A and B are shown apart, each in its own frame.
Chain A
Amino acid sequence: MTTATLTATLPPSTHEFSEVIHRLEAGGSMLPDTPDNLKQIIGIYKAYAVPMDFYWRDLLYIAEQVFLNPLPAFKYFISEEYLDRPNAYAGDTADLRIWRGEADAHPELRAFMEKGEVNRKLPKLLHHLWHDRVNMEFAEACMEAMLWHEDINPGFNAYLDSEEYKQNSDRAIRAYFKGNPAMLGLYKLFPEMFLEQVKKLSYYANLGLFWEVMAPVFFEMSDLYDEGKMTTVPEAMEFLVNGIFAVAGRPIYHHVYIDGECYEIIPKSQAFTWLYEAALPYVEAVFYRTAPFRGTKSYNAQAGQIPADQKDFHYGILYADVFPVGSAGIPPTLLMQDMLHFLPDYLVEEYQKHGRGEDDMLIQLGITFQRSMYNVTSAVIQALRTALLYPLDDPNPEHLKANRQFFEQQIDRFKRPEARLRDVQDQSYR
């Protein structure tokens, strides 16, 4: 944290983003520390955490209960049991209490599910058909990005290809379709087709377990801010860093429940962990890579707009152009629409003062969200530096040089013109 030692032992960085590098070296975030930035990111963490509380519950519901239903028309209609399911990091029964609030579904989420935007108590199905609901497709798109960018999760994917996994899946598939000769016959003819679906469901479980942690972290940050106990952007980043470490060793697993019996498709004993098999792959898949927006890039193979190598994909939130949010072919619109329902009042007031006021709120909150994800990514970079390299006040100049090199490498990824790192340095980017 001591800038003085740093400047005394290392010459200034010559990196294009040297200002950001120096800020990271001083224990800061990629996002400048201003009260406005703090207000924006915390407000949006709160607005994000409520739909996320639905996402993780429904992801686990689909992975564990809906499983291989060939016509999963009601997969977004989660059971009461999954709404009541205690979050492992909130409430009195928590393994490690991160949020001081209750462990079951958030009250704002329950209220929205009951009455929706129309603010009328209607049957679930009508809310759904009127599209008055949480856009669960966004969570599935994130899951698909993790599934498809398979090079970033080698240990996990090696297990999904193992004989043991195939046997575990086989047992569950047979139990699920017991007494259904049509599906069992189809399974016999095309076993790979079913296996691929089970792999996808394992990623549902993976992402569900990842977000089960992030929701209480964001709720707690919002509460601390409201209580006046979180006052700077670096503090907000530090809270995330500690949150990441606290649950780094949480098991990632996939259990399926068929006729009340548990089938362990990925057992906890495989020793997959939250940090290595969920959090880091998620950040790479969703923040950096994802897939090109259908509304901004041509998939035409002759046009060559989209890279041939998956590692060169740069369509995540850190690169996204948020201005066309709300128009066709821009997937993050789904999330922006979800967060719109749960904005704290202070952010709504803020948006009314800028841009086109309430009319372009979706875009303004999208840009706020981008800011907040630059702060989350900063936390990931600082956590990696803590885990793999050296303290920021290390007296050994060689160690500081290694830290510098690491930060510069990370920031190199934002040199490409699409990256929004430069924009978020500027308060007028809204």
Chain B
Amino acid sequence: MPSIVEIAVETEGFSTLVAAVQAAGLVDVLATGGPFTVFAPTDDAFAKLPPGTVQTLVDNPPQLARILKYHVVAGSWRKADLSSTDTLTSLESSPIPIRTEPNFEVKNSTVVAADIEADNGVIHVIDNVILMG
């Protein structure tokens, strides 16, 4: 089975995320470590951010890595595992609010494709970049 990074690279619509993960130096972590649950924002999700936001982050890898780590949780959490969970703690160490009913929502984003299996975890595709706080 391919790793989280391989899936992101091979699937269309994640080029911004892949570029960000590379700029932040997190490729090795997500390719070999784990298991992780990754909430993966699509290119459209990144495009919703106001102008300049992504550029400033890409110019500053540690700060970008921090935002990306907020999208990653230790352990494999499939949608079914999350039905009785209100929050997960991200690798950034801030909490992520989760709802599975009526819609599968992660903080203020909606999961558009759930439970994509990778050999070191699981990916849920989301329609917004999520932010701490």
Contact = CB atoms under 8 A, between A and B. Distances in A.
**Residue from A251, A390, A399 having most chain B Cβ neighbours under 10 A:** A251
Contact of B60 (A250, A280, A399): A250
Nearest to B133: A388
A245 interface: yes
B133 A280 contact: yes
Given A250-B60, A388-B108, A273 B50 contact: no
A270 B60 CA distance: 11
Interface string B26-67: 000000000000000000000001111101110110111111
A96 interface: yes
A387 B67 CA distance: 12
B78 interface: no
A249 B56 contact: yes
A247 interface: yes
Given A276-B133, A389-B108, A270 B62 contact: yes
Contact of B63 (A95, A245, A273, A280): A273
A258 interface: no
B132 interface: yes
Residue of A242, A248, A384 most packed against chain B (CB within 10 A): A248
A388 B107 CA distance: 7
Contacts, number: 60
Contacts of B9: none
Contacts of A1: none
In this complex, the interface size class of chain B, counting residues with CB under 8 Å from chain A, is 20 to 34
A399 B53 CA distance: 24
A249 B108 contact: no
B57 to A, nearest CB: 4
B19 interface: no
B113 interface: no
A272 B108 CA distance: 23
Contacts of B59: 95
A271 interface: yes
A247 B133 contact: no
B133 A251 contact: no
A269 B24 CA distance: 11
24 contacts: A95-B59, A96-B55, A245-B52, A246-B50, A246-B52, A246-B53, A248-B56, A249-B64, A249-B67, A250-B63, A251-B60, A251-B63, A268-B60, A268-B62, A271-B62, A271-B65, A271-B66, A276-B133, A280-B133, A386-B50, A388-B108, A388-B133, A389-B108, A390-B108
4 smallest A-B Cβ distances: which pairs? Answer: A246-B52, A245-B50, A249-B57, A271-B62
Interface of A: 95-96, 241-242, 245-251, 268-273, 276, 280, 384, 386-390, 399
